[in-house]
Chains A and B, each alone.
Chain A
Amino acid sequence: MATLRAEAPAILLLLALAAAPFVGFGEGYMLTLLARAMILAMAAVSLSLLVGGAGLVSMGHAAMLGFGAYAVVILDDARVTEIAVVLPVAIAAAAGFALVTGAVAIRTSGVHFIMITLAFGQMAFFTASSLAGYGGDDGYTLYSRTEIGGARLLEDRLAFHFVCVGALAGTWLLCRLLLASRFGRVLRAAKGNPLRAQALGFDPYPYRLVAYVIAGAIGGASGFLFANATEFVAPAYFSWQRSGELLFMVILGGVAGLHGALIGALGFVLLEEWLSHQWEHWRIVFGVLLILAVLFLPNGLAGIPGQIAKAARR
């Protein structure tokens, strides 16, 4: 029962997202916004697996989305739009990039890991900007969304909404199970005290690398969805600023549990959208809110109930 209570925030949030179209959030604009929030939440959850689970603070996670999205672009240009081909290629491309760069990056730790992942992310970004055949800096507009068995199911907004809800729920469940497994326990042990984990006979390197590749694969899948949501892909979507944003979502929500990333990503995207309609210079308010959140919510948004409970007990 205790475990179920710990997972309640994430499950409730996912149920709310599934119900959203039927309780007044069904019009096009709202569904588009929610789709973007859920796709970024998916990437944020996979990043949280790295940050919270393995202690690997990646500043190049947007590159994984980039690989997924550019796989869609390159196949679209070749008129291949069947999901059975596109999705596996998108995931494999991102996972492959994660494997190659992770093999080097995971040798470092701390700030150096942040900087080396930033470096690899920038290399991917500049490579994408040099792809003249796919629009270069200006980006590429897809001919059509990916098809499922030849049918254009993803064109339907409601269907796409549920694909996103399903993908996000699947991501959360997968990462949650991974963290609870023996594999996840080794990861967390190595994060807490690498020396002790090594003394127990666990070399953290392969565990971290596998986690990095899994997070990359999920990033690739969310890049696939991102390309389909916007039907337009440009290198600017995958710049270091985007990597930073994903990291900020994870920190804002709280790194203690995966549901922090869910809450952080949805809160970040929705607050940004709402504020931007209120005032031309909304970023001032947004920035101040972020500063206040750090100063007064040390455990992130997900830590608020705990803080209230603690204050009530006093």
Chain B
Amino acid sequence: MTTQLLLIQALNGLQLGILLFLIAAGLTLVFGVMDFINLAHGVQYMIGAYLAAWIAGATGSFWLALLLALPLALALGLLLEFLVFRHLYDRDHLQQVLATFGVILVLNQGVKALFGAAPLQVPMPEALTGGIRLMEGLLYPTYRIAIIAGGLATAGLLWWLVERTKVGMLVRAGATNAPMVAALGVDIRRLFMIVFGFGAMLAGFAGVLAAPILSVEPGMGDHLLILAFVVIVIGGIGSIRGAFVAALLVGLVETLGRSLVPDLMRLFLSASEARQVGAAIASMLVYIAMAAILAFRPAGLFPVRAG
């Protein structure tokens, strides 16, 4: 393995981490502030990607798709909140899990009925095709660098919103102790709605960004949903900072593990065995990391919740 290859894998890991962060940020806030387990958060990401594919297909412009997909993802998120989720805030976690699973079934099958089961392709924006020479013999796709930059900028914006604005202060207070915030006279339902809509939009944004490099297909959010849950549990539920650190960690472990572990295994095993065993161990790494972190720091890396 050369330095260049390792660097490319690290950048790929960073890019996966950024996408994970955009999904996990909304998930951790919804969970932390509203104590609501939303399994349907992964399909919001899928919806974003499908909106991008649909608009880009109709207009031929990725930028227009990005511009229109965000408010549409927000509107769909708020519609779901109005129709289903707001009736579940007072229920226990198990009922939330079952109902949001129902939402997953409806939306996964819904896009299949509308767009077909075959994966859709979204063309990359003209300005971001090609690659950038980062060093001798290392050409990295411009679009992926744009994802990393856009994600980092969004993370910065989110940090500013949560740490420096009044709404952000209420969100942080809500994550620590929601009933107390309500008792102090804040309209907690409206706060919930804002957090929920914003989280849905962020996940949709991640979907739009991912659309040109991944295939857009039904169920594309399911795998990322599980990883996003791993991220928020490692990071500490309700913590944006924790979600950011954990998302990058999970992205890097997942990507680097897949390329490094099979190579490491080749030191002890035959080539075909190394590939098989290595792939299995690489897939497990994230979960091993989570189990280890939970065993030693049950509240995650950056605990938020009071008591």
The interface of chain A, by Cβ under 8 A from chain B, is 51, 57, 104, 107-108, 111-112, 115-116, 118-120, 122-123, 126-127, 129-130, 132, 136, 240-241, 244, 247-248, 251-252, 255, 280-284, 286-291, 293-295, 298
| A122, A130, A244: the one within 8 Å of B101 (CB) | A244
- Interface status of B103 (Cβ within 8 A of chain A): yes
B165 neighbours in A (Cβ, 8 Å)? none
B98 at the interface (CB under 8 A from A): yes
Instruction: Tell me, yes or no, whether B250 is within 8 Å of chain A by CB.
Output: no
Q: Is the CB of B226 within 8 A of A118?
A: yes
List the B residue with the shortest CB-CB distance to A110: B93
Binds A, one of B47-55, B149-157, B274-282: B274-282
**Closest Cβ–Cβ distance, residue A218 to chain B (whole Å):** 20
> Is the CB of B294 closer than 8 A to any CB of chain A?
yes
A298 near B276: Cβ-Cβ < 8 Å: no
Is A284 within 8 A of B230, CB to CB? no
Q: By the criterion CB–CB under 8 Å, are A130 and B109 in contact?
A: no
Stretch at the interface among B130-138, B169-177, B284-292: B284-292
Q: Which of B62-85 contact A (CB under 8 A)?
A: 84
Which residues of chain B are within 8 angstroms of A284 by Cβ–Cβ distance? 105-106, 109-110, 113
Chain B residues with CB below 8 A from A244, complex form: 101
A-chain residues with CB within 8 Å of residue B113 when the two chains form the complex? 280-281, 284
Q: Which of A119, A122, A287, A298 contacts B106 (CB 8 A)?
A: A287
Measured in the bound complex, the distance between the Cα atoms of B92 and A255 in whole Å is 12
- Give Cα distance in the complex from A123 to B286, angstroms: 10
B158 at the interface (CB under 8 A from A): no
Instruction: Please state if A132 and B276 are interface contacts (CB–CB under 8 Å).
Output: yes
Instruction: Tell me how far the C-beta of B66 lies from the nearest C-beta in chain A, rounded to whole angstroms.
Output: 28
Using Cβ atoms and an 8 Å threshold, which residues of chain B touch A289? 102
- Across the A-B interface, the 5 shortest Cβ-Cβ residue pairs: A287-B105, A130-B280, A290-B102, A287-B106, A283-B109
Q: Does B88 contact A (CB under 8 A)?
A: yes
A contact face: mostly helix, strand, loop, or mixed: helix
Known: A107-B298, A281-B112, A287-B105. 7 other contacts (CB 8 A): A104-B291, A130-B276, A136-B276, A240-B226, A280-B113, A291-B99, A294-B102
Query: Is B164 engaged at the interface, CB distance under 8 Å to the other chain?
Result: no
B301 CB, nearest partner CB in chain A, Å? 13
Residue in chain B with minimal CB distance to A283: B109
- A-B contacts, 10 listed (Cβ < 8 Å): A112-B233, A115-B233, A118-B229, A120-B287, A120-B291, A126-B283, A282-B109, A283-B106, A286-B102, A295-B88
- B256 at the A/B interface (Cβ < 8 Å)? no
Q: Which residues of A have CB within 8 Å of B44?
A: none
How many angstroms from the CA of A29 to the CA of B304 in the assembled complex?
Answer: 53
Known contacts A115-B233, A136-B276, A248 near B99 by CB under 8 Å:
no
A66 CB, nearest partner CB in chain B, Å: 14
Residues of B within 8 A of A247 (CB): 94, 97
CA distance A214 to B33 in the complex (A): 36
Query: B278 — nearest CB in chain A belongs to which residue?
Result: A130
Q: Measured between alpha carbons, how far is A57 from B94 in the docked complex, in Å?
A: 9
The reply to whether the CB of B87 lies closer than 8 angstroms to some CB of chain A is: yes
- In the complex where A283-B105, A291-B103 touch, is A251 in contact with B295 (Cβ < 8 A)? no
